[in-house]
Amino acid sequence: MPGLTKEQIEFIKNDLIKKSLSRSFLFNEYVDHICCDVENLMYKGKSFEDAYKMVSSEIGDSQLKNAQQETLYLLNHKYIIIKKILYLAALFFIISWIINIQGTANWMGLVSFIILSTVYLKLAVDFFRERRYETINILYSVLMFLGFVGTITGIILIFLNRNFGIETSGHGVDFTVFAWFFLSIVCFLYYSREYRTSIDPVAVRKNLRFTRIAGFNLFLSGLSVLTFPLYSLVSGYIFYLITIILVLDILLLIFLLIKRYMNNSLIVAMVMGSFMIVFIHSGFRQKLPGGSPKMHTMTVKVIPENLPEQHTVYLYMYYNRFPEYKITVPMKLSGDSTFTNSWPSYAYKGYLIYLVGKDSLQANRVIMDNRSKLDSIYLDIPKNLEYHINY
């Protein structure tokens, strides 16, 4: 049977592209199938033009489009299930912050992250199964798996630390933020590649949008990772970074909903994960009913009772992850010569009490001048809740 010339094949390809029937994974099969049909008719004596006209009218644009839609449905319906699982994770997460019956909020929050992590694991397995089509799927699978491990490990550490006071040296935060970083890398690589290889204008537009979203998320997650080594320099700006990420993620989720992109489980899982991970590390959660952490209250009774005017008691504390950066905070007068202060029990590891001054600077000066005394009054949370000091 005579084969078609290169020019004739190009003609068929261009005609299909004109009809926007060029979704990459079916395009080559469209071309080959039509070419075979045309060759068959040419073998029976038809000219190329007549044969192509006959095949085109027989197959029809609608049949080609139907094949495309049906294929996408059959291949994607598992992602429709993933979408529902992601909605479930979101539901648990939202409930965990607005309702806290008998301290169940933290458990519901944990469940929401376990559900989200399951989706990451599922996506990692799917990429691995598809390794034979594209070698890069192995890389996606490994990064997704790291995202899964980071999220599940991090959230369990945070949960144990905040609810049972187990010392985790803040590694829960590290794990979750690194997980988010890995997920952003997968998303960016995946969608930028999809963008480069798609031909269908609708797919091109969608993948370009997703690449931009993933790229921006990658940038923000990268900045968040950098805050670890540069904490002392950037600590004052972390609040702004968190606020930007949370606002952006909410806007992106609304965008994905409005544009009916929720079946694209990879991008949705990443944006949801970004929001959930950043939100649990933000101060905003404390303003919600389910978000108040277990508080540790310190009470200091001063003996003798009369302090000089405008003087107060200061706590000299350090955050559990950064013992080298100590802070000085004033205590509140809560009764006759009694001072109290509360802070999340997971946040600060050690504190030193010192009775001094009108302001923290003066308090610091006194602390620095009396370093030798400080070790003797060093306390470990959550040992003493009430402490008597002599002034």
Binding site for another protein (CB under 8 A): 3-6, 9, 25-26, 28-33, 35-37, 59, 63-64, 66-67, 70-71, 73-75, 129, 132
Of the pair 63, 286, the CB lying nearest another protein is at 63
Reading phi first (left if > 0) and then psi (alpha if -120 to 50, else beta), residue 139 is in alpha
The pair of three-digit structure tokens given for residue 281, joined into one six-digit string: 């590390």
Of the pair 10, 50, the CB lying nearest another protein is at 10
Of the pair 133, 164, the CB lying nearest another protein is at 133
Of the pair 28, 334, the CB lying nearest another protein is at 28
**Cβ 57 to another protein, closest distance in Å?**
13
Of the pair 75, 250, the CB lying nearest another protein is at 75
**Cβ 44 to another protein, closest distance in Å?**
14
**Cβ 39 to another protein, closest distance in Å?**
8
Spatial neighbors of 27 by CB under 8 A, at least 6 apart, are 16, 21, 199
**Cβ 223 to another protein, closest distance in Å?**
37
Of the pair 67, 307, the CB lying nearest another protein is at 67
Give the 3-state DSSP-derived string for the chain, with helices as H, strands as E and coil as C: CCCCCHHHHHHHHHHHHHCCCCCHHHHHHHHHHHHHHHHHHHHCCCCHHHHHHHHHHHHHHHHHHHHHHHHHHHHHHHHHHHHHHHHHHHHHHHHHHHCCCCCCHHHHHHHHHHHHHHHHHHHHHHHHHHHHCCCHHHHHHHHHHHHHHHHHHHHHHHHHHHHHCCCCCCHHHHHHHHHHHHHHHHHHHHHHHHHHHCCCHHHHHHHHHHHHHHHHHHHHHHHHHHCCCCHHHHHHHHHHHHHHHHHHHHHHHHHHHHCCCCCCHHHHHHHHHHHHHHHHCCCHHHHCHHHCCCEEEEEEEEECCCCCCCCEEEEEEEECCCCCCEEEEECEEEECCEEEEEEECCCEEEEEEEEECCCHHHHHHHHHHCHHHHHHHEEECCCCCEEEEEC
Of the pair 138, 226, the CB lying nearest another protein is at 138
**Cβ 133 to another protein, closest distance in Å?**
8
**Cβ 147 to another protein, closest distance in Å?**
23
Of the pair 79, 93, the CB lying nearest another protein is at 79
**Cβ 16 to another protein, closest distance in Å?**
12
**Cβ 183 to another protein, closest distance in Å?**
23
Of the pair 94, 199, the CB lying nearest another protein is at 199
**Cβ 3 to another protein, closest distance in Å?**
4
Cis peptide before 382 (omega within 30 of 0): yes
Q: List the end-to-end C-alpha distance of the chain, in Å, as a whole number.
A: 106
